[in-house]
Amino acid sequence: MQALAKDGAIGTTSLEDFAKQLKKPRAVWMMVPAAAVDATLTTLTPLLEREDVVIDGGNSYYHDDIRRAADLKPKGIHYVDVGTSGGVWGSERGYCLMIGGDKAVIERLDPIFAALAPSIDEASRTPGREKIE
């Protein structure tokens, strides 16, 4: 955390402190294994308020994402699932963010997604692809 703090990041040691540090409405991006999402949400949800957003950046099963979104909706907390496709080569050749959730919330978060998306000019073509018609 100390190295990142030199670049302006703010470190925390708990979800409680993390939630307090964010400006409202908050967007919390989770990157945990699919098996840990529900337990993380159980701890995180009481720390959030209406109009906050939870983004699951892992590759959860979409039926679980639909259930989680429905569970959070009565609390006024939005759930956005953002699966990533591109495999281990994604950082070099480009990747795809598959974004699911309420349209208005996704539009609100668009600057985050746009900042993460590699431009088409940055992603080199798959070798051998030019031979396919």
Mean pLDDT by 10 residues, the chain (133 residues): 86 92 95 94 97 93 94 98 77 78 95 78 59 54
pTM of the model: 0.81
Q: How crowded is the C-beta side of 27, counted as CA atoms within 13 Å?
A: 15
Residue 129: the pLDDT is 57
In the chain, the domains with their CATH numbers are 21-120 (3.40.50.720)
Sheet with 53-56: strands ordered across: 27-30, 53-56, 78-85, 96-100
Q: What is residue 132's predicted lDDT score, i.e. its pLDDT?
A: 52
Q: Tell me how far apart the alpha carbons of residues 24 and 54 are, in angstroms, rounded to a whole number.
A: 13
Between the two ends of the chain, the Cα-to-Cα distance in Å is 49
Residues 62/107/88/5 CA torsion (nearest 10 deg): -120
* pLDDT score for 121: 60
Q: Tokens for 130?
A: 């030019």
